[in-house]
Chain A
Amino acid sequence: MDVSGPSGSGKTTLLRTLARLMPGATGSLAVDGQRADTLAPQRWRALVALLPQKPAILPGDLRTNLVLPWRLKVERDVAEPGSEALLSALDEVGLGGLPLDRDATRLSVGQQARVALLRVVLTGPRVLLLDEPDAALDPESSSALAQALVRIAATGTAIVRVRHRESDGLAARRLVLTQGGRLTEAGP
């Protein structure tokens, strides 16, 4: 699903609310019939994973950054990937050939964006929330990302994307927000 709308219309707020990352939000959320208020917030965020607009690459190598989610205490449905799985995952987002001991902070902005995406995807969330994932990418990286998203969606993960660019034909549905956060259009 793609979400679009002018600046300030609440696209990021919508994603943060879905990830239970919005202080003061009210209402109820559920994923696969499981209500948000029956789960610890950390566990909910592992299931409904937000990738913020600015990728946060921590000091350290590529491997440290990719397995970071497994260094946190929260329970995961997916086991920590080994080196082989990491390398093939990197290949799938167009980062094949990068060694796992490469200093992640020295990667380009586009590469960092894909590492941050991969880090979230590897944890196997049920819903993936992407805040302008291709805003900082060149057309080539952007299409590599789109292909990766098609593969992720094929595994049954729901994807909600905030997007400014023209439709790339991937989204099954489209939400349009207007100033003030009202939903004006919803459709395929």
Chain B
Amino acid sequence: MSDPAGVIAIGWPQLLLATGFMVVTGGITLALQLGVTKALWLGTLRTYLQLLALGLVLGWVFRLRQPLLVLAIIGVMTAVAAQTVVRRAPDAPRGSYVRAWAAMGLPALVITFAVTGLIVRVEPWYLPRYVIPIAGMVIGNSMNGVALALERTFADMDARENEILALTALGASPWEAARESVRTALRAGMIPSINTLSTVGIVFIPGMMAGQVLAGADPLVAAPYQIVVMLMVATADVLGSTLVVLLTFRRRFTPDGVFLEKGWRPHAR
């Protein structure tokens, strides 16, 4: 089966055949009594449901071409990403969720529309077929870096508790006392995306380029797209991590600038 664009469509029989992989995997986990068989089946089922639902929703959104709907979808994607980020940083102070949302949403919007408007130059500016997948890549791929930076900031501040107390006692402001932790955390958050920039194309063929090539695109057309994607993801990672850390670190201090050590913190997030 081949459509005019050169895409070979996958039908239900082929999809079931691919599910055969999971039967083999399930068999192995069952034989070794790894206790993950149920989670594996549930995961497979969710992959089916979520991706088919995504296909349906995207098809619907592409046909509707409503700018507000496109923005709302980006908002929901960022909200879910922010929730994931905050869940992975259990020590982050209360109120981090809204800040993580802002810290990821703002760069995501700026970068997505800079790419679609200035680089890919889509018409109209909100063309869902371009805007939504690009926003998804920006948000999804910067999520790990942002989560890492947020988690490291508060873990590092706890580890440096004595240093922060001594600095504060010398008259340091919260920023002066927390600066080393913030720098350590930001470096940690940025290293994965910097590493990705230098290994891409050698160690792995990134998802979007692989997808375009599979869809019949000339690899030399796909490569510039992938370069743009890599650069925008790295930018989103750096901007998102920096913003989330700068917006949240101060909340670990009282208004008087005293670091809230463990035991002095409000319990619920």
Contacts and interface: CB of A to CB of B under 8 A. Distances in A.
Contacts of A161: none
Given A45-B171, A69-B171, A74-B172, A20 B256 contact: yes
Nearest to A74: B171
A50 B165 CA distance: 9
Contact of A52 (B162, B172, B176, B260): B162
A-side interface size class: 20 to 34
A19 interface: yes
Given A42-B257, A72-B176, A73-B176, A21 B171 contact: no
B176 A21 contact: no
Interface string A108-136: 00000000100110010000000000000
Given A49-B169, A123-B170, A41 B163 contact: no
A42 B171 contact: yes
Given A21-B165, A58-B163, A119 B257 contact: no
B165 A52 contact: yes
B258 interface: yes
Contacts of B163: 56, 58
A55 B171 contact: no
Nearest to B176: A72
B171 A43 contact: yes
B-side interface size class: 10 to 19
A69 B168 CA distance: 10
Contacts of A19: 169
Interface in B150-170: 162-163, 165-170
B204 interface: no
Interface in B94-129: none
A54 interface: yes
Interface of B: 162-163, 165-173, 176, 254, 256-258, 260, 264
Report, nearest first, the 10 A-B pairs whose CB atoms are least far apart: A56-B166, A74-B171, A46-B171, A50-B169, A56-B163, A54-B162, A41-B256, A42-B171, A23-B254, A45-B171
Interface of A: 19-24, 41-43, 45-46, 49-52, 54-56, 58, 68-69, 72-74, 116, 119-120, 123
Given A23-B256, A49-B170, A73-B173, 10 more contacts: A21-B165, A21-B168, A45-B171, A52-B162, A52-B169, A56-B162, A56-B163, A56-B167, A69-B171, A74-B173
